Amino acid sequence: MKKIVVGMGTCGLSAGAQAVKDRLAALAETHPEAATVGITGCIGMCYREPLVEIREGDVRVIYGGVDPRRAEEIFQRHVLDGEILEEHVIWMRDANGVESGSEMDFLRHQRRIVLRNCGCIDPESIAEYEATGGYEALRKALLEMTPEEIVAEVKASGLRGRGGAGFPTGLKWSFAASQPGPVKYVVCNADEGDPGAFMDRSVLEGDPHSVLEGMIVCSRAIGAHAGYIYCRAEYPLAIRRLQIALEAARERGYLGKDILGSGHAFDVKIKQGAGAFVCGEETALFASIEGERGMPRIRPPFPAEKGLWRKPTNNNNVETYANIPWILTNGAKAYAAFGTEKSRGTKVFALAGKVVRGGLAEVPMGMPIRDLVFQVGGGIKEGRAFKAVQMGGPSGGCIPASLGDTTVDFESIPATGAIMGSGGMVVLDDATCMVEIARFFLDFTQAESCGKCTFCRIGTLRMLEILERITRGEGKPEDLDTLRTLAARIKEASLCGLGQTAPNPVLTTMRYFLDEYEAHIYDKKCPAKSCIALVDFVIDPARCTGCTLCAKQCPVGAISGKPKEVHVIDPAVCVRCGKCLSSCNFGAIYKA
**What is the separation of C-alpha 190 from the centre of its chain, rounded to a whole number of angstroms?**
12
Architecture of domain 536-591: 2-Layer Sandwich (3.30)
Q: How far apart are the first and last CA of the chain?
A: 61
Decide yes or no: CATH 3.40.50.11540 for domain 126-335.
yes
Closest CA to 436 of 529, 571, 575, 537: 529
Decide yes or no: CATH 3.90.950.10 for domain 2-108.
no
The span from the CA of 303 to the CA of 284, in Å, is 11
> Which residues make beta-bridge pairs with 40?
7
- Residue 103's CB is within 10 A of a number of other CB atoms, namely 20
Class for the domain spanning 346-429: alpha beta
Beta-strand pair 185-190/99-100: unpaired
For 450-465, the DSSP string reads: -S-SHIIIIIHHHHHH
DSSP, collapsed to helix, strand or coil, labels residue 538 as: strand
Whether the CB-CB separation of 405 and 370 falls below 8 Å is answered with yes
Question: Do the domains at 2-108 and 346-429 have one common CATH topology?
Answer: no
Q: What's the pLDDT score for residue 517?
A: 97
Q: What digits encode the pLDDT tens for the residues 206-248?
A: 999 999 999 999 999 999 999 999 999 999 999 999 999 999 9
Class for the domain spanning 434-523: mainly alpha
- Residue 161's CB is within 10 A of a number of other CB atoms, namely 20
For residue 492, with 0-12 CB atoms within 10 Å meaning exposed, 13-18 middle and 19 or more buried, which class applies?
exposed
Q: What's the pLDDT score for residue 516?
A: 97
Closest CA to 510 of 481, 540, 489: 481
Whether the CB-CB separation of 533 and 467 falls below 8 Å is answered with no
Q: What digits encode the pLDDT tens for the residues 357-383?
A: 999 999 999 999 999 999 999 999 999
Closest CA to 238 of 424, 4, 8, 47: 8
Say how many CA atoms lie within 13 Å of 24 toward its Cβ. Answer: 33
Alpha helices in 96-230 (DSSP H): 104-108, 126-131, 136-143, 147-157, 169-177, 199-206, 208-222
Using a pLDDT cut of 70, give the percent of the chain over it. Answer: 100
Q: What's the pLDDT score for residue 458?
A: 94
Phi, psi at residue 243, to the nearest 5°? Answer: -65, -40
Q: Rounded mean pLDDT of 122-136? A: 98
Is a pLDDT exceeding 90 seen at residue 422?
A: no
Domain boundaries, the chain: 2-108, 126-335, 346-429, 434-523, 536-591
The span from the CA of 532 to the CA of 468, in Å, is 12
> Which residues make beta-bridge pairs with 180?
none
Q: What's the pLDDT score for residue 13?
A: 97
Q: What's the pLDDT score for residue 194?
A: 81
Closest CA to 394 of 458, 448, 445: 445
Phi, psi at residue 572, to the nearest 5°? Answer: -75, -25
Q: How confident is the model at residue 85 (pLDDT cuts 50, 70, 90)?
A: very high
Instruction: Supply the angle between the helices 208-222 and 147-157 in degrees, to the nearest 10.
Output: 120
Is a pLDDT exceeding 90 seen at residue 275?
A: no
Say how many CA atoms lie within 13 Å of 172 toward its Cβ. Answer: 24
Q: Rounded mean pLDDT of 553-580? A: 92
Cα angle: 467, vertex 472, 473; to 5 degrees: 100
Across the chain, mean pLDDT equals 95
Say how many CA atoms lie within 13 Å of 48 toward its Cβ. Answer: 24
Q: What digits encode the pLDDT tens for the residues 441-490?
A: 999 999 988 888 898 999 999 999 999 999 999 999 999 999 999 999 99
DSSP assigned state of 385: P
Q: What's the pLDDT score for residue 147?
A: 97
Strands (E), 324-423: 346-353, 359-364, 386-391, 397-400
Beta-strand pair 59-63/386-391: unpaired
Is a pLDDT exceeding 90 seen at residue 140?
A: yes
Q: What digits encode the pLDDT tens for the residues 12-44?
A: 999 999 999 999 999 999 999 999 999 999 999
Q: What digits encode the pLDDT tens for the residues 303-354?
A: 999 999 999 999 999 999 999 999 999 999 999 999 999 999 999 999 999 9
DSSP, collapsed to helix, strand or coil, labels residue 115 as: coil
The span from the CA of 424 to the CA of 194, in Å, is 7
Say how many CA atoms lie within 13 Å of 109 toward its Cβ. Answer: 23
Phi, psi at residue 101, to the nearest 5°? Answer: 125, 165
* Run of H or E including 183: none
Q: What digits encode the pLDDT tens for the residues 480-492?
A: 999 999 999 999 9
Is a pLDDT exceeding 90 seen at residue 195?
A: no
Beta-strand pair 226-232/185-190: parallel
Q: What's the pLDDT score for residue 46?
A: 96
Q: What digits encode the pLDDT tens for the residues 476-522?
A: 999 999 999 999 999 999 988 888 999 999 999 999 999 999 999 99
Closest CA to 589 of 558, 568, 575, 573: 568
Closest CA to 403 of 411, 412, 393: 412
Q: Rounded mean pLDDT of 576-588? A: 91
Q: What's the pLDDT score for residue 496?
A: 87
